[in-house]
Structure 1
Amino acid sequence: MTTNHIIDTGAVAAVVSRAGGSIDGPESLVDVSLPAPGLPTGHDVLVDVKAVSVNPVDVKIRASGNRAHKDRVLGWDAAGTVVAVGDEVTRFRSGDEVYYAGSLDRPGSYARRQLVDERIVGHKPTSLGFAEAAALPLTALTAWEALFDKLRLGADSTGTMLVLGAAGGVGSILIQLVKALTDVRVIATASRTETRTWVEGLGADVIVDHRAPDLDRQVLAAAPGGVDYVFTAQSKGRIPLFTKVVRPFGHIVAIDDERDLDLIALKDKAISWHWEFMFARARYNWDLSAQHGALEQLAQLVDAGRIRTTLTQTLAPLNAASLREAHRIVESGGAIGKIVVADPA
């Protein structure tokens, strides 16, 4: 613990989703002033937010509407500076530069000041600016938990992994982690010239076209005995593909929200299905410090040059107009890597 910086107890600038729904609605995202969150207590740190990135979860929650018209601060990726710490904080002090994803059950990062539990916060990679760092936490934690908590991969792991949605935010960091920390081959899906170039630059060993009618043949040509692992952000309609290309006793980890999947079709090969949801730790107060530890290790990997930020576009300034444009890009489904909103340096 150190002495806290002087804290503004008045109002802070923020962007809220008031009506939700279509991004073109006048109250989908609105600039407002909100009461400052006040001094942190317990394990909370108060962060001066410098940059945020926009994820599909932001888009889904905004698009789902807000019948009560109760202002909600979205945003679950941020980088900034600690300005005050709670009385139980041991990992940070005022002035530390940090990055984190936060919790779905608390106000998000589309505000200049945010309270967040230190146990799900990491020290920002020293080699990155705030915008570059803000691109990483949610997707990197998702990839980390998928690979190391669900699939139990390690330095001695071998085999082949099929990555669907490889040019997206999670796929972009997951490919790098697989290549940096395991001996697993990566078959990545990409259909456009720019996405193929992107995933190749991240280290993918083989690239296949997920829009092609012979995708199963492409995958089996690269992995004749079937793939050992699948990471999917695109499960809709893919179960027949998985039954063909995954080897017996293989593993699939999914992050999307598709319902009514015919998972019984996987039983004949004894294929295991895993759900990954990085917000589960914060929601259920389950081993929170694991996310702090992962973010610390990720920062070390970045600073050692073993993985890199997945930032591809920065919008400025940090206001409703810029966030609305970022939502449009993410909602289009054609984004490569991550979109960040930040004030000019």
Structure 2
Amino acid sequence: MTLFRPLDERHPLNGRLAMGVEYDGSAYCGWQRLKHAPSVQAELERALSKVAGQSVTVHASGRTDSGVHATRQIVHFDAPASRSQKAWVFGANANLARDVAVHWVREVPDEFHARFKALARRYRYIILNQMSRPVLERHNVTWCRDPLDADAMHRAAQALVGEHDFSSFRAAGCQSKTPWRHLHFIEVRRHGPLVVVDVQGNAFLHHMIRNIVGALVSVGRGEQGDGYLAELLMLKDRTLSDVTAPACGLHFVDSLYDEVWGLPREPLGPNLLAFLGEWSGERELPACPMVEFRRGRPVAGATRDDSMVKEGES
């Protein structure tokens, strides 16, 4: 795997295209296009429409909230005009604001869908744990001046792994029809002054990760014990849970797909964590119903699980 891939400028791409996108969400209301505020989706569609000379509508692997960042947001769109790889990537980046960038573009079959073919989504939440406030990292981390016990946070988080009712961690305005989600893993590790919460699942409820992190910080401070997350999970009541962590520390770092689609792998972001050296798709996915269903290998319970995710994934 390489960081530098040549972009073809001879052969036009047609039909359905998949694209890898990175953005700093600080200035946006989130991914989804809204009439009253700037969105990443609207910004990307504006730039691609200029390249195509016609209107372009994009569909994303997952919606991010206001102020949340992404280093590997996968989108797809049906190209209304033929352009080369280089023209799509360079043309889009030339027309995009400086806080959004396209990494790559690929032709994909018409059956590909960025949202409904995704096997998993992965986020990293970054806490800068030191006495002085952040300066260079201030837009991309959450600052905590109190010492945090990352090991205790990790132990507490393991109660969330698996398929559960996450009502205690969903926002009041969450539009999903079901609170059930499947967490593949959640890890909390310290790297110098950085405490990183790394979490992957089939999909996530509105504010789910930020609410989990808010509770984990209470554990890290010593205000709650190792069983705190398990207790909140059992309550199934958001009003009895903890605070919501700020959006600025949250990064959408990966959408995982079956290899049949041929999407390129990339180093997991953000670049602040490049020293960890992990690439997209390196970890094995669990053999849970939704993963098997979307790989075309249905198992018992897959229909319920897949329809569940379609109703409210993000």
Per the TM superposition, whether the score is higher than 0.5 is no
TM-score if structure 2 supplies the norm length? 0.31
Please, what TM-score do these two structures have when normalized by structure 1? 0.29
Work out which of the two has the higher radius of gyration on C-alpha atoms and give 1 or 2. Answer: 1
